[in-house]
A and B are shown apart, each in its own frame.
Chain A
């Protein structure tokens, strides 16, 4: 519960809709915190994230509970279906003019090379585990403030990358877990349609180690700038 105070402050500073979400990938069932139950419904990773964010739901999902095999595949929970791995699914959906373009894109989607047993979800403020990644759903202005806060300590530029497919899984969990730096995405057709990420929202994945600095920087911005 070490994030309770930080989440309270983050909400006061930015006025988030719902909670930041703690996401962790685990290799064995032994890593599941005691009170966490298996998700009782098959859903997509992005839906599990939204449920934790808006309904406060907690739990874990193995390959059996993951409805989106592409999402589970990039997170190392199961093998990617061939149609996703080769890009043929996206080519057939019309996302790409050529099969080569589709393949180039899916090859570039961040994927974890290690195998995982399940993904765990919780609203960050009540998470009983140390998250790999904190996922936050934000308006563009809130994302601006988080980006500015991230850069306050050491400066530089934020680099975010996405391809409009496999967003809440690959862009905000896998990329952030692997690289150890934040990444922002505009979502994908699946997360907009099934998880109901709103039109005015973007999604950021943040390494847990950066949250305290981000909150501290936001406090300073508020002192200096007034309303954020």
Chain B
């Protein structure tokens, strides 16, 4: 879905801009972020194009969603998956979703849903709703734009895993790849640095031992 950041553009220009964006190709809807007060007139635009209108206050910004009412939502049941399986699965799905698309993740284990909800911002997602339905917990996640790191902030896009365990302690060596896979599914660039006995797992044919 088309997303536009229109901070600082006052009403009614934000509405004029939103209508132009919709008319010029964003037929499935638009997520527009505006400054407080600039949302004036946007509801009329949504009505004019038959779009559902939702407003959310996000800090000092107003996020307006103008979406098709019949927007379909993907569902994913992670019941039975063990940590970090649910996060890997959700991260993998989010990686292929377009900004604004939503996914409902369910599980019989509320802890798994809680973990996913906590990890969601790191996976370029946003928790829209979370609760319990019958015997399952659920979280609804919307694919969001990746936050831009400003110069003064810490950019946590890269992960390095230092591996000192090798074939002499294979169970611990295995954990490195679980962490790495979880980080990859969260969109991180992962480097595994092997040292000491860790080097042994990179030697050809050692994985067959």
Contacts and interface: CB of A to CB of B under 8 A. Distances in A.
Contacts of B25: 180, 209
Contact of B23 (A80, A156, A209): A156
Contact of A80 (B9, B20, B35, B151): B151
Contacts of A55: none
B17 A113 contact: no
Given A161-B13, A181-B21, A104 B151 contact: no
B24 interface: yes
Contacts of B159: none
A45 interface: no
Given A161-B8, A178-B5, A210 B146 contact: no
B17 A159 contact: yes
Given A178-B4, A179-B4, A180-B24, A113 B146 contact: yes
A208 B168 CA distance: 59
A82 B151 contact: yes
Interface string A188-215: 0000000000000000000101100000
A107 B35 CA distance: 11
B13 to A, nearest CB: 5
Interface residues of B, number: 26
Interface size bucket, A side? 20 to 34
A99 to B, nearest CB: 15
A161 to B, nearest CB: 5
Contacts, number: 68
B8 A107 contact: yes
B148 interface: yes
Interface in A127-181: 154, 156-159, 161, 163, 178-181
A156 B146 contact: no
Contacts of A81: 151
Contacts of B74: none
B145 interface: yes
A113 B24 contact: no
Interface string B2-39: 10111111000100110111011110000000010000
Contacts of B24: 180-181, 207, 210
Contacts of A85: 150-152
A157 B16 contact: yes
B206 interface: no
Interface in A53-95: 79-82, 85-86
B203 interface: no
Contacts of A180: 2, 21, 24-26
Interface of B: 2, 4-9, 13, 16-17, 19-21, 23-26, 35, 145-152
Given A108-B35, A181-B20, 10 more contacts: A79-B150, A104-B8, A111-B5, A156-B16, A158-B20, A163-B8, A178-B4, A178-B5, A179-B17, A207-B24
